[in-house]
Amino acid sequence: MIRKIVRFVLWAAAIYAAVVALLILVYLVVPPVSTLMVARWVTGQDVVRHWRPLEKISPNLVRAVVVSEDSRICSHWGIDWREVSDAISDADELSDARGASTIAMQTARNLFLWPGRQLVRKAMEVPIAFVITIVWQPRRVVEIYLNIAQWGPNGEFGAEAAAQRAFGKSAASLSTWEAAILAGSLPNPVRRNAARPGPGLRRVAGQVQARVAQDGGASAQCLDLRR
C-alpha cells in the first residue's frame, strides 16, 4: 500500500513537473494567465486583463514595482537569499516569514501554484522561480508579472486594467505619482484602493517615490527600459 502511494506521488510529481516545463516554454511567446484568473472564469466571475508588452508600460510603473517588490532583481537568479535570511530572522517561526518573495517567486506562484503561506508551496516556488529566471530572463519575468498581478477588487489583472480603473488612462502614460500609487497598492489591491487612495496608501506611495529617486534606475538596469 505504501509503495502504491509513493508510486502515485512520484508519478503525479513527474506529470506536474512536465506540465510546468511545457508551460514555461509556451509562455516564452504566449501571454499567460494566472491560476486566479482561471479560478474566476470557472466560478463565473469577471476577469479584466489587457496584455501589454513591457515597452507599452510606463517605465515609471516598472521602476516603482521593482523597487517595491524586488529591488535586487538584477543581482539574483529568482531567489533573493539575503531577503529570505532577513525575513526568517525577523519571524518568530519559519511559517511567519514575510517579505522574502521576489518578483520571480510571485510570478511562479501566480502561474503554477496556489495562494497562501504553506511551506510546501513556498518550497515549490524556489525551483520554479530559478528556472523561469534562467529561461525567460528578468525582463520577461517582469513583463509577465505586470500583466498577471491582481490589481483591483473586481477581477482587474495587469497594469493596463489597473491604470484604466484607477486613472482612466493607459499604463503607458502613468506619471511617477500614479505609478507609485499602483505599486503601493499591490500587496492588497482590494483593501488599498488605487482609484481612491486613502492616507495610508498615499504615505506608502510617497515612500515608493523616494525609493525610486534614491535608486536612480539601478535596480531595473537589466530590464532594458527604452523610455
Q: Is residue 20 part of a domain?
A: no
Q: Which domain holds residue 46?
A: 31-223
pLDDT per residue over 137-182, tens digit each? 999 999 999 999 999 888 999 999 999 999 999 999 999 999 999 9
- Tell whether pTM > 0.85: yes
pLDDT per residue over 43-63, tens digit each? 999 999 999 999 999 999 999
Domain count, the chain: 1
The alpha-helical segments, DSSP class H, found in 27-58 are: 35-42
Q: Is residue 26 part of a domain?
A: no
pLDDT above 80 (res 194): yes
Q: Is residue 95 part of a domain?
A: yes
Q: Is residue 120 part of a domain?
A: yes
| CATH value at residue 139 | 1.10.3810.10
Neighbours of 46 (CB within 10 A): 9
Q: Is residue 122 part of a domain?
A: yes
Q: Is residue 4 part of a domain?
A: no
Mean pLDDT of 24-53: 95
**For all residues of the chain together, what is the average pLDDT?**
88
Mean pLDDT of 118-133: 87
Mean pLDDT of 7-28: 92
Q: Between 55 and 95, where is the model more confident? A: 55
Q: Is residue 155 part of a domain?
A: yes
pLDDT above 60 (res 95): no
Q: Is residue 22 part of a domain?
A: no
